[in-house]
Amino acid sequence: MAALLEFEALSRSYQAGDQVVHALRDVTLRIEAGELVAIMGVSGSGKSTLMNILGCLDQPTSGSYRVAGQETRTMRPDELARLRREHFGFIFQRYQLLGDLTAQRNVEIPAIYAGMPTPQRQERAHRLLDRLGLSDRTSHRPGELSGGQQQRVSIARALVNGGEVILADEPTGALDSTSSEEVLRILQELNAHGHTVIIVTHDAKVAAHAHRVIALSDGLVVADRRTQPHVGHSDEREVPAAATESWWRNVVARFVEAGAMAIRSMASHRMRTALTMLGIVIGIASVVTVVAVGEGYRRQILSEISSLGTNTIDVYPGRNFGDIRSGLARPLNASDARALATLEYVDSVTPLIGTSVSLRRGNVTRTSSVSGVGDAFFRVRGYGFATGQAFGASAIRSQTQEAVIDGNVERALFPDGSPALGQVILLGSVPVRIVGVTEKQHSVFYSDDSLNVWIPYTTAMARMTGQDSFRSITLRIRDDANTKAAEEGVKRLLTLRHGKLDFFLSNNDAMRQSFERASEASQLLISAIAVISLIVGGIGVMNIMLVSVVERTQEIGIRMAVGARQTDILQQFLIEAVLVCLLGGVVGIALALAIALGLELLGSPWKMIVSGTSIVVAFVVSSVIGIVFGFLPARNAARLNPIDALAQV
Ligand code: ADP
Ligand code: MG
């Protein structure tokens, strides 16, 4: 029958600079199940190298090493991890427990990777600790335990998956004599129950407990003697029941465990976690805020566009807004307005003439814009009146010197609060009587503190501008008429009158469309900035994760030694990156909502609209950042060589 562990002409050499160090040379060994072996030799003789190869943490350079008949030299990392889980339990000189975890949790780790169902795993870990006299220490962390206690926790960990072969590298090297005796007694007991125990030591007293002593010198086996005959093998080991869970439940359980480990690691390094997510918090918060402000602004403008009434068409001279040649185009005049008023689908026509004059009342003087408008103007534009009313059609016909003012003008000219209605003020040198005061309008189109005075356009032409041309004409289309058809009609009529197309029409639809186009462009810009800021945040996450992997090399090594696959390590670090980013996203969204609330409390003129979509997108984006930027560090961690990782201590 094949021996449990079999070395055949096995060599292991290291490349150290341009020198080759032969740590093991042509070693041939057979270790049977149930043996208690001590491996001795001075420092540098190759004991740890031998141990690492025995435990499948390392692979030979040449020769062969078989575990229960399986050749390991050509195995891939995850197959080696499987052998470690199924056959080996490690006990290290420095215990190698994970400092963030309780004794119970430390013992459970190999079982997690082996896929043992949770209740069974917890029960088994607890029972092993109990058997090793640690039942009252299960929720202590390694830092709260003595050296001897820590070593007993690590023995429990070596046993949790069955511990067919216990590999102990200088297990008593850091212990006082009492604890050493205790540990050796436990190892002997385990051997008596059928565990194969291999102890590396340089201490002859320790070796004296063994049944077989193998001496190494300079990578060669120089002696191999039995001190007690090997009396067969009675396996009374307590072996955990084979995992009965289906593979997918096993995958889910390991995923959940990886998540829990990630959360625990984040919780125990709060400062590092907070710093890692800072970039994501700022990125997500600023993106959500900017999008919300933009959306609020967009909606307000759209609602104002619709409040201007859907059935109006503005006619302007020139080809387009700001057309520099509009001065050369034939102006729009009263006869144009009269002609347009005759169109059947036109409800009413309001010309607009603008000028700016000084307002005077008593000794108060202000500069204000004065608009000459038709009587329909206030209805068309949706102005309400605080007091008084609009001038009527008869006022237009008879060029009365009447005016409507806004609240700002009233406050400016009547600072004592006396009523403006019925009073006379001077527009330049023209006295006008105030017949109405409009209500304040909230609008992004007009600044809140502008002064506005409206007078009949006929009065403006006759008494102020001396011109007979309008800045624009606004038509109110009948409710039952089709705006498109009306536009065509207006275009035809004016082209006929002017002989060419030297005017342009603007309706709310056109305004809405051009505004939507502008806001699309700005959204594109915002998205570009968002992408950049989130990439910067992601790079921050990657940097800190890379550092964190280096810092946690030992933890990774321990996990690998107890049987973690590369995918387990990859998963753990990826989940950690994603959780950090998600948490960053949550904090970022909360921050954005707080900013929205703050702006609202401060009485911002427009509301931020934080949409559900932007929250969902923020979550998705932060997870994607976590995956993308967490991948490199996680892969680095997964690709660490377990012995290099363990050698860090
Ligand atoms: P021991 O455990 O008996 O002290 P080791 O197995 O650790 O001995 O080392 C055996 C030899 O191999 C030593 O000469 C050591 O310097 C060398 N060695 C061990 N690990 C490495 C490594 N990773 N790179 C280069 N040389 C190494
Ligand atoms: Mg060593």
For residue 36, the model assigns a pLDDT of 94
Of 476 and 508, the one with more pLDDT: 476
Check whether 328 has a pLDDT greater than 70.
no
**CB 495, CB 241: distance < 8 Å:** no
Q: How far is the CA of 570 from the centre of ligand 1 (A)?
A: 28
Check whether 486 has a pLDDT greater than 50.
yes
**CB 579, CB 625: distance < 8 Å:** no
Ligand nearest to the CA of 170: 2
Please work out whether the CB of residue 627 comes within 6 Å of at least one atom of ligand 1: no
Check whether 518 has a pLDDT greater than 60.
yes
**CB 177, CB 99: distance < 8 Å:** no
Please work out whether the CB of residue 48 comes within 6 Å of at least one atom of ligand 1: yes
For residue 174, the model assigns a pLDDT of 82
Q: How far is the CA of 70 from the centre of ligand 2 (A)?
A: 26
For residue 30, the model assigns a pLDDT of 94
Check whether 599 has a pLDDT greater than 90.
no
For residue 139, the model assigns a pLDDT of 94
Ligand nearest to the CA of 43: 1
Nearest CA to ligand 1 atom 7: 48
What's the mean per-residue pLDDT of the chain?
A: 86
Provide DSSP, 39-65.
Answer: EE--TTSSHHHHHHHHTTSS--SEEEE
Give percent of the chain above pLDDT 70: 94
Which of 39-43, 83-87, 204-208, 318-322 has the weakest average pLDDT? 318-322
Q: How far is the CA of 407 from the centre of ligand 1 (A)?
A: 90
394-428 tens-digit pLDDT: 888 899 999 999 888 888 888 888 888 999 999 98
Nearest CA to ligand 1 atom 13: 44
Mutate to test the pocket of ligand 1, among 48, 201, 216, 218 (most ligand atoms within 8 A of CB): 48
Please work out whether the CB of residue 53 comes within 6 Å of at least one atom of ligand 1: no
Mutate to test the pocket of ligand 1, among 42, 49, 221, 649 (most ligand atoms within 8 A of CB): 49
Supply φ then ψ for residue 526, to 5 degrees. Answer: -60, -45
Which of 242-246, 341-345, 508-512, 566-570 has the weakest average pLDDT? 242-246
603-619 tens-digit pLDDT: 776 777 888 888 888 88
* Helix 566-601 × helix 77-87 angle, to 10°: 100
Ligand nearest to the CA of 14: 1
Q: Could you identify the atom of ligand 1 that is nearest to the CA of residue 42?
A: 3
Mutate to test the pocket of ligand 1, among 21, 167, 644 (most ligand atoms within 8 A of CB): 21
Distances (CA, A) of 179 to 99, 135, 175, 449, 536: 21, 18, 6, 86, 52
- The structural domains of the chain, ordered by start, are 5-241 (3.40.50.300), 257-302+514-647 (no CATH), 330-501 (no CATH)
* Residue 608 burial class via C-beta count within 10 angstroms: exposed 0-12, middle 13-18, buried 19 and up: buried
State the Cα torsion 465-468-470-476 to the nearest 10°: 130
For residue 165, the model assigns a pLDDT of 95
Please work out whether the CB of residue 585 comes within 6 Å of at least one atom of ligand 1: no
Please work out whether the CB of residue 46 comes within 6 Å of at least one atom of ligand 1: yes
Q: How far is the CA of 44 from the centre of ligand 1 (A)?
A: 6
Closest-CA residue to 41 (of 197, 179, 199, 166):
199
**CB 258, CB 571: distance < 8 Å:** yes
Check whether 444 has a pLDDT greater than 70.
no
- Local confidence band at 534 (pLDDT 50, 70, 90 cut-offs): confident
Q: How far is the CA of 638 from the centre of ligand 1 (A)?
A: 24
For residue 649, the model assigns a pLDDT of 46
Please work out whether the CB of residue 41 comes within 6 Å of at least one atom of ligand 1: yes
Q: How far is the CA of 80 from the centre of ligand 1 (A)?
A: 21
- Residue ranges of the alpha helices (H) in 103-246? 103-114, 118-131, 147-159, 177-192, 204-207
Closest-CA residue to 5 (of 38, 32, 34):
32
Please work out whether the CB of residue 49 comes within 6 Å of at least one atom of ligand 1: yes
Nearest CA to ligand 1 atom 22: 14
Of 643 and 36, the one with more pLDDT: 36
Ligand nearest to the CA of 13: 1
Mutate to test the pocket of ligand 1, among 14, 19, 20, 198 (most ligand atoms within 8 A of CB): 14
The H or E element that residue 410 is part of is helix 407-413
Distances (CA, A) of 49 to 218, 371, 433: 11, 95, 106
For residue 611, the model assigns a pLDDT of 82
**β 364-373/452-456 pair status:** parallel
Ligand nearest to the CA of 11: 1
Q: Which two tokens stand for residue 552?
A: 């946690």
For residue 324, the model assigns a pLDDT of 55
Q: Could you identify the atom of ligand 1 that is nearest to the CA of residue 52?
A: 6
pTM higher than 0.85, yes or no? no
Q: Could you identify the atom of ligand 1 that is nearest to the CA of residue 15?
A: 25
What does the pLDDT average to over 136-157? 94
For residue 447, the model assigns a pLDDT of 59
- Local confidence band at 448 (pLDDT 50, 70, 90 cut-offs): low
Q: Could you identify the atom of ligand 1 that is nearest to the CA of residue 49?
A: 6
